[in-house]
Structure 1
Amino acid sequence: MLARPLLGTTLAHQIHCAKDTGIPTWAGGNDVHKKTVWIGVELKDGGDIVNLTDANTKFPANMVSFLKGGEALLHEAERYLEMKPDIVPRCSVKLLSPITNPEKVVCVGLNYKDHCAEQNRPLPPEPLIFSKFPSSIIGDGESIVIPKISNSVDWEVELGVVIGKSGKHIEAKTALDHVAGYTVAHDVSARDWQLQRNGQQCLLGKTFDTFCPLGPALITKESLTNPHNLRLRCFVNNKLMQDSCTAQLVFKIEECIEWISQFVTLEPGDVILTGSPPGSGGFRNPPEYMKPGDTVTCEIEGIGRITNPVVAEDDNPSMK
């Protein structure tokens, strides 16, 4: 494995990048002019990219399929990098979500101690699980759309965990063997539909189109010394709204995987959103929510940041 590889996919280009350590990073991308989709390796943060998909028919055009290839396909990609392959200029690609069309997006609620304290709620005795539809996923720079039928759309920065190896009834002690890597996630939430409508079940309030920005890359687990000691922050219009650390997790990544895999088989490409720290708008006094024209940035130490503009549904052509 590379020291700090990043995994990703791109629309005009699905790309994912690692920090500038002088070591290549896994990325996914496509050519802006040709409008093709591929995965690849970004040579440094913000640097040029190696197109894997066009190099060899062994390399698929999406990250879920790449992850299903397991360690053998990853090592094949590493060998290709050693051959001084053709490099695509970074300016000619567009970064997409690192994962598109996973089988599952599983979320953990009330999983930060300081978030529970913010609400004067006890720590949950077991992980609280809900889900988002994969259709809610967008990438860095794409627009978060405020639905016509909601007036309380909120922000929540989260650490996203991407599964690399399938498993059922996974034990906590081996759970990280099933992890491919990590990404920045934004659990956009319509509080009215989450907490007041639909019988107070989470699904509808969590899974509107565009409600799951992911990116900017999928950084492999080997790249992070300790995923349970990462600062994570959220900014709205450059104003700091959330600022905490993954050390505040109630249930660590291994525990979440163990719990979730009792109920469903986790598959390569599945995404787990591990919970949000305090500071989201719905728990402020008075409450604050996203509005068209806002810009929201979520960042996690060692992974990167994603920034998404906020638009009204009527102003978004793809929703018409």
Structure 2
Amino acid sequence: MIRKIASTLLITAFVVFTAFAQELRCNVTVSARGIQGANQNLFRTMQSDIYDFMNNRKWTEHVYGYDEKIRCNILIRLDEQVSADEFKGSIQVQLTRPVFNSSYTSTVLNIKDNDFHCNYVEFQPLEFNETSNRDNLTNILAYYAYIILGFDYDTFSPEGGNEYFQKAQSIVNNSQNARERGWKSFESERNRYWLTENILNKSYSSFRSCMYNYHRTGLDIMSDRVEEGRANIANSLRDIQKVFRRRPSTYILQIFFDAKADELVNVFSKSFPDERSRVLAILNEVDPSNGSKYEKIKESEEL
């Protein structure tokens, strides 16, 4: 499997222990500070149940060693208790990826979804059904598990995450009759519906080309060939520019820059003047909201 970057010897050493190893190493936090007078033990149990759901479920057919598990974070903030077992708030999903031959980890995803709405009964098992929308909590969690997998696999092989993005899309399709927000196209231009639509839309396929080239032919070779890796990252931004010029308001553009803006500053602050100029021109065109951050790239040229 292409995403595996640990040595064959390391995999062999752990094979006895990983025959049933799950894919995610997901930290989960549930915060209900905004709900006055609530039973905090309930939310601690919810946090534990969500942790088990994300980390102990088998999401793929692949075998992972412990050090190969995909590192991610889920932060759920509950702001409103609608009834004894019904809650509203937000969910933030973060995915990081190790960079080959280094101790550096790169942020791949940093999504905040404000349409988190669920029912939760303490000590009742979390059950996910792939063909129904009976439980919005497990639908949301499974959706983001597949989004995490899809993005991770895309960074290791061209469009390697197709299977998992399609599974996320199936959850969207099954949730079109859900009363909760976040699943339907008309509710917002930046929600779960549009995330999978954008990813699987062939009109925006250059986004996924960028995700592969940025990480696999860019960051992953920088420990040995810094200038070549940085140049490949600069070239990958042209794919993002193609998406922008096709449709500037595309949701996946926000997804990309929410994860990568700070990293881009760090990468190109040490670049050559002409490369900095080319990258700045692209970034100021496609991501003007982070223009003040990108000024730091220009400032490094003037030092």
Alignment TM-score, normalising by the size of structure 1: 0.24
Higher relative contact order (CA 8 A, sep 6+): 1
Between Structure 1 and Structure 2, the one with more helix by share is 2
Alignment TM-score, normalising by the size of structure 2: 0.25
Larger Rg: 2
